[in-house]
Amino acid sequence: MSKGLTITLVFDGMSMNYGEGVGNISELKKLSRSGRLYAYLSRQAIRYELYRILKDTFGMDRDKKDPLHKEQKVVQFHPDITIKDYMEADLFGYMKTKRKSKDNDGKTQTRPAVVRLSPAVALEPFMYDLEFGTNKNFADRTGADPNPFQFEHQHSLYSYTITVDMDRLGYDPNDGTTLDNATRAERLSMLLDAVKILNRDIKGRTENLNPLFAIGGVYDVKNPFFLNRIKVAYDGESGKYLIDTEPLKSTTAVKFNGEDIKSKTRIGYIKGFWHNEEEFSGVCTAVDMDGFFEHLKEEVKSHYAGA
C-alpha cells in the first residue's frame, strides 16, 4: 500500500535567511501576501542544514569521498554514485551525467527528491526592524575608520512542511538499486532525529530550529495535509502564543478511502510555550515532542517491517 509521511512544524527564530543585499545593507529574503511582507527560510537552506546535521551529528556519508563533481560544467553528482552508497542521494535526489562515449549515450539521469521541503515562512509580518553597526573594535585596534553596516531583522515563529515518499525511499529505477527495508527504516528514522534537533549557523549566531509544535503522521497517501494550515495569535495577557486549532480540526476530518485522517495524526508540542495547549487534544492525540517523533519512528519501522 502507498505510504507517505508528512509533518508540519513550527519553530521560533530570528533572521533566518539573507539575500544579496544592496551596498552595506543585508536584506532578508521575503515574500509578499495581502499587502504584507513575510521573511522566509528557503527550502535549499533547510536542505543544507539537514545535510549538515545528518553528516556532522549522525555520520551520514562522513568517511566517503564527496559525491559531487563539476566535470560537465554543472555541479552535480558523480555518475558512478548509487543510493546504496550515498544516503544523501537517496533522501534528496540527484542529477548525474556520464560523458558520451561508445558505451553510453551521455544522457542525464535524474532522481527526484524523496524528501520534499517547503520554505519556512514567518507566521508574523515583517516590521522593518533594522540593525546599524560598525566594526569599531577592529577599527580602533588598527587605527582605521569604522565600516558601517545594516542588517534587516525579524524575530518570528516560522512554519514549514516535510513530506516523504516512503515508497521511493531506498529504490532507484535508474539502476535498479533496491535497499533492504531495515536500511530504509533506519535512514528515515535518522532524518526524523535530525529534524528534531535542527539548528542553523548564520551571521555569527546559532539559531534553534527545534520544533515547538508539530503535526503529522504516516498516511496511505503522499500529501502535505497541514501545509499552510498553521495560524498563530499572540495573547498579550499571558505573554504566550496560541495555535488556531479550527483549521487543524477541519483538516483531520478530511476522509481518504472512507477513513478520516485524524486517527493517523499526532500533535507534538513543547509544554509551557503555548497558551491553548489544552485545545490540542481536541484536534487529535497530543503528546510531548519526544513522544511525537518516537511515535513516527515506530510507524516507519512498522511499515517497512511489513512491506
* Beta bridge pairs of residue 158: 11, 122
The per-residue pLDDT of the chain, averaged, comes to: 93
Q: Which grid coordinates are listed for 280?
A: 490540542
- Tell me whether residue 166 is in a domain: yes
Nearest to 4 by CA among 183, 161, 164: 164
- Tell me whether residue 80 is in a domain: no
pLDDT higher than 70, residue 307: no
- Tell me whether residue 88 is in a domain: no
- Tell me whether residue 85 is in a domain: no
**Which domain, by its residues, includes 291?**
4-63+113-306
Lowest-confidence segment of 5-19, 52-66, 136-150, 265-279 by average pLDDT: 136-150
pLDDT at 283: 97
- Tell me whether residue 254 is in a domain: yes
pTM value surpassing 0.75: yes
Domain count, the chain: 1
Q: Taking residues 234-262, what's their average pLDDT?
A: 93
Q: Taking residues 261-283, what's their average pLDDT?
A: 97
Phi, psi of 23 (to 5 degrees): 60, -125
Alpha helices in the chain (DSSP H): 43-56, 87-92, 136-142, 181-196, 246-252, 289-306
Q: Which grid coordinates are listed for 101?
A: 562515449
Q: Taking residues 258-267, what's their average pLDDT?
A: 92
| Residue 67 and residue 89 in contact, taking contact as beta carbons nearer than 8 Å | yes
Lowest-confidence segment of 66-80, 96-110, 178-192 by average pLDDT: 96-110
pLDDT higher than 90, residue 66: no
pLDDT at 285: 97
pLDDT at 7: 98
- Tell me whether residue 246 is in a domain: yes
